[in-house]
């Protein structure tokens, strides 16, 4: 990991840099600078506070704002896309590539902001995201399932990947045979790496979580035998088939928690507790030596968000 002006980034083979966006905490949310010949792209942009970091790394690498051809977000949740408007203002030649169901929220983020304020509250929203800036509609290009974009010597292919959210796609990079997976392939925090490799768990959202479509999306990702996955949370992982199996197990575990406690009068607390126990057991089995308190400190916000996603699915699955 390279540190420069307190900006952490890691360069991977094939011209892909994972940049720590600084969102919430270090080593939680990655944005990617993809370098290809005479042009570059950003994939994931973090929040407004991430924009200065991305521009600083761009300059450190010897690129000019004019060199950025694309800004891409896998979906429009604000830890991935909240800084899109502020970043696009600084990149005069960039085209913004987005899922068809997410485009309107980027050109007019009012509903997106209202939904996030409802989840986090006004004070927390302001701390995390600030003022959302619209992306100019004429600079937006919608990418349908199977669409491709050329970036230097790379072909970027877009795959619709519902399950975490309906407005989610993943992006395949032909040069490294890797997928930029957003949240479709779950979370893998580097604090939990051991000699057994990466530890991975699914991530839900307070709305739109749907287990079976999510599993189908994971199957499609691994069907082409990719060499790696570029996760937004956090960084590049390998051993893809093994992690895919863990991802499937995790989704099934979430469904089991839902069924077990669906009629309990303390449903949320019970699901949170079951998830925490399941994660701690898995971390011990994986060889993680951090204390229980340290593990929960890393995972607490994910446990709460995952529980809300499970509850959403329970409340809406038969509608």
Tens digit of each residue's pLDDT, the chain (319 residues): 344 457 889 999 999 999 999 887 888 899 999 999 999 999 999 998 899 999 999 999 999 999 999 999 999 888 888 899 999 999 999 999 999 999 999 999 888 888 778 777 888 888 788 888 899 999 999 999 999 999 999 999 999 999 888 889 999 999 999 999 999 999 999 999 999 999 999 999 877 888 999 999 999 999 999 999 999 999 999 999 999 999 999 999 999 999 999 999 999 999 999 999 999 999 999 999 999 999 999 999 999 999 999 998 999 886 6
Q: Percentage of residues in the chain with pLDDT exceeding 90? A: 77
- Cβ atoms of 178 and 172 within 8 Å: the answer is yes
pLDDT recorded at residue 163:
80
Residues 6+ apart with CB under 8 A from 21: 29, 30, 31, 44, 45, 46, 47, 50, 53, 54, 79
- 10 Å Cβ neighbour count for 176? 19
Residue 44 exposure: Cα atoms within 13 Å on the Cβ side: 33
pLDDT recorded at residue 195:
95
Quote the CA–CA distance of 316 and 120 in Å, as a whole number: 21
pLDDT tens digits, residue range 68-86?
Answer: 999 999 998 888 888 999 9
What are the CA-CA distances from residue 105 to residues 4, 121, 180, 220 (Å)?
34, 19, 21, 26
pLDDT tens digits, residue range 230-270?
Answer: 999 999 999 999 999 999 999 999 999 999 999 999 999 99
- Cβ atoms of 118 and 133 within 8 Å: the answer is no
Q: Where in the chain does DSSP place strands (E)?
A: 2-4, 7-12, 16-20, 30-36, 39-43, 68-72, 95-98, 140-142, 148-151, 154-160, 169-173, 178-182, 228-231, 235-237
pLDDT recorded at residue 17:
97
pLDDT recorded at residue 318:
66
Q: Find where tokens 């057991």 sit.
A: 281
pLDDT recorded at residue 4:
43
The DSSP 8-state label assigned to residue 280 in this structure reads H
What are the CA-CA distances from residue 254 to residues 194, 212, 284 (Å)?
24, 12, 19
């Amino acid at each position: 990991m390279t540190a420069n002006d307190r900006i952490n980034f890691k360069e991977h083979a094939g011209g892909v840099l994972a940049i720590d966006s600084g969102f919430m905490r270090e080593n939680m949310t990655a944005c990617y600078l993809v370098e290809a010949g005479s042009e570059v792209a950003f994939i994931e942009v973090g929040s407004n506070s991430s924009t200065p970091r991305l521009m600083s790394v761009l300059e450190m690498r010897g690129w000019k704002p004019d060199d950025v051809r694309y800004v891409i977000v896998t979906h429009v949740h604000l830890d991935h896309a909240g800084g899109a408007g502020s970043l696009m203002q600084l990149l005069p030649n960039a085209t913004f590539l987005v899922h068809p169901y997410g485009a309107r929220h980027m050109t007019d983020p009012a509903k997106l902001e209202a939904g996030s304020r409802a989840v986090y509250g006004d004070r927390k929203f302001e701390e995390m995201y600030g003022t959302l800036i619209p992306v100019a509609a004429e600079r937006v290009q919608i990418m349908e399932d199977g669409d491709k974009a050329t970036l230097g010597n790379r072909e970027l292919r877009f795959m619709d990947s519902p399950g975490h959210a309906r407005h989610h796609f993943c992006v395949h990079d032909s040069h490294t045979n890797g997928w930029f997976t957003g949240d479709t392939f779950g979370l893998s925090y580097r604090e939990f790496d051991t000699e057994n490799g990466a530890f991975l768990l699914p991530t839900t959202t307070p709305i739109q979580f749907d287990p079976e479509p999510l599993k189908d999306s994971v199957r499609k990702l691994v069907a082409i035998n990719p060499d790696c996955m570029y996760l937004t949370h956090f960084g590049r992982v390998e051993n893809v088939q093994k992690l895919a199996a863990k991802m499937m197990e995790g989704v099934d575990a979430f469904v089991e928690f839902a069924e077990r406690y669906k009629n309990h009068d303390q449903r949320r607390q019970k699901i949170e507790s079951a998830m925490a126990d399941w994660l701690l057991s898995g971390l011990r089995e994986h060889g993680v030596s951090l204390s229980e308190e340290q593990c929960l400190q890393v995972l607490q916000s994910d446990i709460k968000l995952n529980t809300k996603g499970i509850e959403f699915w329970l409340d809406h699955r038969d509608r």
